[in-house]
Structure 1
Amino acid sequence: MPPGITLAADAPGLSAANTGFMLICSALVMLMTPGLAFFYGGMVRVKSTLNMLMMCFISLGIVTVLWVLYGFSLAFGTDSGSLIGWSAEYVGLSGIGINQLWDGYSIPVYVFAVFQLMFAIITPALISGALADRVKFTAWALFVALWATVVYFPVAHWVWGSGGWLFEMGVIDFAGGTAVHINAGAAALGVILVIGKRVGFGRDPMRPHSLPLVMLGAGLLWFGWFGFNAGSWLGNDDGVGAVMFVNTQVATAAAMLAWLAYEKIRHGSLTTLGAASGAVAGLVAITPSGGSASPLGAIAIGAVAGLLCAMAVGLKYRFGFDDSLDVVGVHLVGGVVGSLLVGFFATGGVQSDARGLFYGGGFEQLGKQAVGVFAVLAYSLVVSAILALVLDRTIGMRVGEDDEISGIDQVEHAETAYDFSGAGGGAGSRRTASVPAGTAAAAPQTRKVDA
């Protein structure tokens, strides 16, 4: 019998409450991918809106099928050399019975598999924000399939799989600071270094076309993140999930306030885009750390993440890499901050007895966290860049320059996000309203960053 499966007769017993709780959490995490699509979709120019939505949504289709076929087996099957898993019983989810419970828990294997599936879906979708406006949709879809197979599934095994080398080392990643956010942020950096900048980057205005969509997306992400974080304890019997729920709210609020304070001091304004981005930075940072910190620690973690991520989004102008929607500045930096701060703020009294530097634990846990951070960062960065290079040299990753300028929505999807042809027009009206793609009228706001 592969690891991760116990018969109901040998397990603590099926808990209807925990099973229902985890199914709800799985649905909340699924909602985060459409939420991410709205968040990213509002941040791009009008002419790229649908493409951005589709780059997120396609992950729901591709990764779901791959997860059932072999992804769950690679991530959570029998360990092989601490690097990858494999169990024939998991292939196609065909060898799993409804009376089988997940390893030592009171939920069915099917429930655990679908919960982890939602993590696998959103992780490559996060990468898409760095590539806005310029990537062929078919090339992106193929990249998602390849990246999930050779990067996400193995890294998930390292971090969470029984026998995975980071798991066995004692690296703490409650809900995905390394496996999800550092993984996606490093991948984004690797790909954009290969495919290059958008036409007009640093010269033309590239403002968000719909801040209401951005705020809607951020709200859906915040809501869904409670399932993402609190659900990662796989039950609600001992209060750890409740602590994580509270810390998720607390850190997100602190990060949003810290980002806004930085904006006010540095740029003199408090923007809606800053509030949304700060909230996401806090959500990212508390993801690995919230199960080991106190609520006061969560405030500190959120505040540090909000400040550092607000500062980091301007690095793309300083170093000349075109991270379209700040995936590197928010997810990579936020994931690194949250993962490393476990080594400072772990109390030893929540998810484990590991203590951070501020709680008398010395540097031991911080050292473990640093190994996890830089191992995942390096692996994802290098392999993602190689995948992008291979695709670019074979089928081509980018649309043509003229197509990019005219609008990737029309070129790749034969659609536009908004039809203004009849706006305000009655039967006798001779005028039609239109908003040229990419103009100031179409997109009146932008993030203020340090150039």
Structure 2
Amino acid sequence: MLDQGQTGFIMIMAALVLFMTPGLAFFYGGLVKAKSVISMMMMSFGAIALVGVLWVLYGYAIAFANTGDHTAVTGIVGFFSIDWNQIGLGQAFEQSQATKLAAPYPDLAFVGFQATFAIITVALISGAIADRAKFGAWMIFAGVWVTVVYFPVASWVFNLTSGWAATWGVIDFAGGTAVHINAGAAGLALALVLGKRVGFAKGAHKPHNPPFVLLGAAILWFGWFGFNAGSAGAANSTAALAWVNTLAAPAAAVLGWLLIEKLKDGKATSVGAASGAVAGLVAITPACANLTPGWGILLGFLAGVICCFAIDLKYKLGFDDSLDVVGVHLVGGIFGTLYLGIFANTTGLIYSGSLVQLGKQAAAAGAVGAYSFVLALVIGFAIEKTIGFRVKTEDEVAGIDTAVHGEEGYVLYEESDKTPVSVR
């Protein structure tokens, strides 16, 4: 029977999660140089436009193929299937228009909620290739990658009928594997495909607008309550636990990150605070409904410490992950996923005395990471070798906003505004 309260809860949570992607645009936009801010923010808005359309056309039909009329499903069940009744959301539309619903909320409410996860996962990848990617090439990559990587992986993780939670007992409440490990592995692959920025070195590329970074982090944190609590599907005790952990873990992560910054560099920075919050949010995502708040605080603090060290890996290993998608999302996602193997309520090592849950978590993290990395590498190389993925060196040095979009992020005055100085 239709429950208006539950329907409203899911739709509000979906709106919060969608708001995260503009927040990500500000977060990423503030981290790049001033002449690349438009390019960076457009990659997030491009993801909203493209993935929003693809999800309605066929994304939901792939991600949730095994939840409706199974006679309409074809493909390799559990790996890559498609429900032909859901192309264009035909079946979901019919269910949502029914006079009397057996479910507490219309299918379309859930469709909208899951669409926002697909959108932000794609947008997250763009941070790894900031300052040097063509917009058109990015859009092609986004469309192909979300189709062959995200949609199937979402089915593995979020499809409660045939996914990993139902079949293997893997815990990933809100997307540590499907969103963060998935995006982080793809970001690493693209960073390798595009190569290093001109002048790449530690300290060479400074964030041009820390207030944008803080604003973006604040919007992300706000939206993340919808991301985690909304994954409960109802305003219940599980959502309440997820909400509290989404407050406590990133707060502790800020403290952990700033502590390491102070010890390493002598200063605690605003960008470090914002990055620490995001690291904590990433780590708590898979675990928010399966940890007591005390263990959630410990997870967040450790995530802040670990990710603060992890962002320097790109200098030691020689890959240019521009905005630390690998150091924050891949490392943070893996840490949060594995942490459950030790501290998850009832099934973690400290409660069960068994390493079985840890093994399941490690297998899921490894499978998603490897699948995403390999396919992203193939897609990225194919684009680079055909139409080219990276802008010209001279455009990169000058700033790609004008070359790619014909716009500037900051125009202090127009030529027509100049007032001639009269000479007497």
The AA in structure 2 aligned to 1:181 is H
Match among 131, 134, 148 for residue 133 of structure 1: 131
Q: Matches of 1:309 and 1:284 in 2, distance apart?
A: 10
Write the letter of the residue equivalent to 1:362: S
CA distance in 2, matches of 1:76, 1:195: 33
SS of residue paired to 1:95: helix
Q: Residue 319 of structure 1 aligns to which amino acid in structure 2?
A: L
Partner residue of 2:343?
Answer: 345
Pairs within 5 Å for 1:25-64: 25-64=13-52
Give yes or no for contact 1:158–1:167 (8 Å, CA) kept in 2: no
Number of residue pairs aligned between Structure 1 and Structure 2: 409
Asked if the contact 2:307–2:328 (Cα under 8 Å) also holds between the matched residues in 1, the reply is yes
Give the conservation status (yes or no) of the 8 Å contact 2:25–2:41: yes
Q: CA deviation at 1:360?
A: 2.4
SS at match of 1:255: helix
Residue 371 in structure 1 maps to residue 369 in structure 2: no
Residue matched to 1:177: 176
Aligned to 2:397: 405
- Is the partner of 1:86 in helix, strand or coil? strand
- Letter aligned with residue 88 of structure 1: W
Displacement of 1:334? 0.5
Letter matched to residue 244 of structure 1: A
Match of 1:93 among 57, 75, 89: 89
Match of 1:386 among 378, 386, 403: 378
TM-score (norm 2): 0.93
**2:62 aligned to 74, 79, 87, which one?**
74
State the match for 1:356 in structure 2: 348
The whole-number CA distance in structure 2 between the counterparts of 1:203 and 1:116 is 38
After TM superposition, the structure 1 = structure 2 runs for residues 150-161 of structure 1, keeping only pairs within 5 Å, are 150-161=148-159
Indicate how the Cα distance of structure 1 residues 306 and 66 shifts in structure 2: closer, same or farther if over 3 A, else same: same
Name the residue aligned to 2:320: 322
Structural mapping, 1:229-244, within 5 Å: 229-237=228-236, 239-244=237-242
Change (3 A) 1:363 1:157: same
Distance of 2:261 and 2:398 partners within structure 1? 33
2:6 counterpart letter in structure 1? N
Does the aligned pair in 1 maintain the 2:164–2:170 contact within 8 Å? no
> 2: CA distance between counterparts of 1:367 and 1:44?
38
Q: Secondary structure at the match of 1:26?
A: helix
Amino acid in the other structure paired with 1:212: P
Q: Which amino acid aligns with 2:139?
A: A
Contact 1:73 1:91 in 2 (8 A): yes
1:168-206 C-alpha deviation (Å, 9 max, x unpaired): 111111001000000000000011111111111117821
Distance 1:185 1:429, change over 3 A: farther
1:65 to 53, 59, 62: 53
The one-letter amino acid paired with 2:402 is Q
Change (3 A) 1:412 1:387: same
Q: Does the CA-based 8 Å contact 2:59-2:147 persist in structure 1?
A: yes
Indicate the RMSD between aligned Cα atoms, in angstroms.
1.9
Question: Structure 1's 104 and 330: CA in aligned 2 closer, same or farther, altered over 3 A?
Answer: farther
Q: Distance in 1 between matches of 2:248 and 2:98?
A: 36
Q: In structure 2, give the amino acid aligned to 1:53.
A: M
* CA–CA separation in structure 2 for the residues paired with 1:168 and 1:50: 44
- Work out the CA distance in 1 between the residues paired with 2:148 and 2:421: 57
Query: Does the aligned pair in 1 maintain the 2:202–2:315 contact within 8 Å?
Result: no
Residues 426, 406 of structure 1: alpha-carbon distance in 2 compared, 3 angstrom cutoff: closer
Please give the per-residue CA displacement for 1:364-423, whole angstroms capped at 9, x wherever unaligned.
Answer: 111100000000000001110000000111111111111111111000000000011269
TM-score normalised by the chain length of structure 1 = 0.88
Report the alpha carbon displacement of residue 51 of structure 1 after superposing the two structures with TM: 0.1
Q: Which runs of 5+ in 2 are unaligned?
A: 67-72
Contact in 2 for aligned 1:260/1:271 (Cα 8 Å): yes
Aligned partner of 1:300 in structure 2 is 298
* 1:83–1:164 CA contact under 8 A, matched in 2: no
Tell me how far 1:356 sits from its aligned partner.
Answer: 0.4
Distance in 1 (alpha carbons) for counterparts of 2:302 and 2:4:
39
- 2:411 is paired with a residue of what secondary structure? coil
2-structure distance, mates of 1:130, 1:324: 5
1:415-435 deviation per Cα after TM superposition (whole angstroms, max 9, x unaligned): 000011269x885779xxxxx
Could you tell me which of 104, 107, 116 is aligned with 1:106? 104
What is the CA deviation profile of residues 337-383 of structure 1, one whole-angstrom value per residue up to 9, with x for unaligned ones?
Answer: 000101111113xxxxxx20122241111110000000000000111
Distance 1:411 1:426, change over 3 A: closer
Structure 2 partner of 1:332? 330
Cα deviation, 1:253-284, whole Å, max 9, x if unaligned, reads 00010000111111111100000000000000
Closer/same/farther in 2, CA of residues 100 and 148 from structure 1, 3 Å limit = farther
CA drift of 1:167 comes to 4.5
Q: Is the 8 A contact 1:248 1:286 kept in 2?
A: yes
What are the within-5 Å matches in structure 2 for residues 117-266 of structure 1? 117-161=115-159, 162-165=161-164, 167-202=166-201, 205-237=204-236, 239-266=237-264
**Matching residue of 2:11:** 23
Distance 1:233 1:19 in 2: 13
Give the 3-state SS of the residue equivalent to 1:85 in structure 2: strand
What is the CA–CA distance in structure 1 between the aligned matches of 2:211 and 2:242, rounded to whole Å?
A: 29
| 1:419 lines up with 2:416 in the alignment | no
Distance 1:196 1:361, change over 3 A: same
Q: Alignment partner for residue 271 of structure 1, among 260, 269, 272?
A: 269
Contact 1:105 1:234 in 2 (8 A): no
CA distance in 2, matches of 1:267, 1:427: 46
Give the residue type in structure 1 aligned to 2:373: L
